[in-house]
Structure 1
């Protein structure tokens, strides 16, 4: 399955929530009508089945983090092997992806842009270049922007936006030095409340 390259608003409209796929420079409501399903002749959804709700929730979380189906299933399998709640483990694994941490720190305006920064070798983890977006960041790891990449206009634009965003409580960031510390794994109550991860567990448990 190839990565989706179509209109980002279409995905947010399909899930009826902001998936943080747009830069945030303009208010999302001016670009995406979240109460309308995709298509020129949108229709209101009818009643859905339990399976339909489970599938939609899986798609919502997968698209939010920009993960393809095969990789998402692998994350679920790993989460199921770990001790504790499978659903909580799954979200923590997704939050620990390097591209997500770069986005959370404010070095990129979207996770897609964060993936580009990582793949273009613009990001350091504990002083070493890491160019794998799915790299799992560990608590107390230091993530920073490589010196020669700090003057990129897209990073400057991201920093300007990040200064107006609510800070992420499990991450410490210094926007002047463009470095931050992934302090700890997030708790469930710190993650988007619309994520009913139990639906995903039910879906994959069948």
Structure 2
């Protein structure tokens, strides 16, 4: 599937806030948003009045960029969320949160979603004992995600001797065993990304 291969920092600047796409760099003085807090391009510093449609579009773009998705896949997730019982916007975020690449990131096995996606694609993880190298794989309650035995000796995972920080309460992690378990589905309160999901629903409902 196609994916964005341009500069990650450009996406953060376009949204006017940190999307934490580059891991530790986002917390350092090298962060592009800290240095240039305006949109990229020659007209980036110009003042623009944003319409309601523009606000809705920006929220959708922001959500796509947080999770590293392109339009077709994001739209398919929205259609799936729309068919589920409950609030469509919250259903959408729950689906996005339970993608395997995001779960790996949430468990602290990747410094960013982009790195987590790469680690999954390279086959470093198993789900319930079976190798899964599809980042979009949706996990379920009770699933155990573990670093593959052959990958434990790699430099990336040798460094993980301490418990991960900021792990959400819908997963439990054992850094010593390099594994984590999904103990519940995330609620809206568990999802800390600054997204106004109702604007996304309004945009697709036009």
TM-score for the superposition, normalised by structure 2: 0.91
> Do 1:108 and 1:154's aligned partners in 2 also have CA atoms closer than 8 Å?
no
1:138 is matched with which residue?
140
Matched residues in 2 for 1:114 and 1:45: separation? 36
Residues 28/85 of structure 1: CA separation in 2 closer, same or farther (3 Å cut): farther
1:148 equivalent to 2:150? Answer yes
- What's the C-alpha RMSD, in Å, of the aligned pairs? 2.0
Residue 70 of structure 2 is matched in structure 1 by 68
Q: What does 1:1-80 align with in structure 2 at a 5 Å threshold? A: 2-25=2-25, 27-33=27-33, 35-39=37-41, 42-80=44-82
Match of 2:178 in 1: 178
**Is 1:97 equivalent to 2:113 in the alignment?**
no
Deviations 1:130-154 (A, max 9, x none): 1111010001110010011112223
**Which digits, 9 at most, give the CA deviation of each residue in 1:35-58, with x for residues without a partner?**
221136631442200100000000
Segments of 5+ residues of structure 1 without an aligned counterpart are none
TM superposition score normalised by structure 1: 0.91
Any conservation in 1 of the 2:161–2:175 contact (CA below 8 Å)? no
Whole-angstrom CA distance in 1 between matches of 2:193 and 2:151: 35
Structure 1 contact 108–155 (Cα < 8 Å) conserved: no
| Alignment CA distance shift 1:63-1:129 (3 Å) | same
**Count of aligned pairs between the two proteins:** 204
Distance apart, 1:155 and its partner CA: 3.1
Structure 2 unaligned segments of length 5 or more: list them.
none
CA–CA distance in structure 1, aligned partners of residues 33 and 25 of structure 2: 17
Task: Specify the alignment match of 1:189 in structure 2.
Answer: 189
User: Contact conserved, 1:170 with 1:185, CA < 8 A, in 2?
Assistant: yes
Using the alignment, how far apart are the partners of 2:166 and 2:96 within structure 1? 20
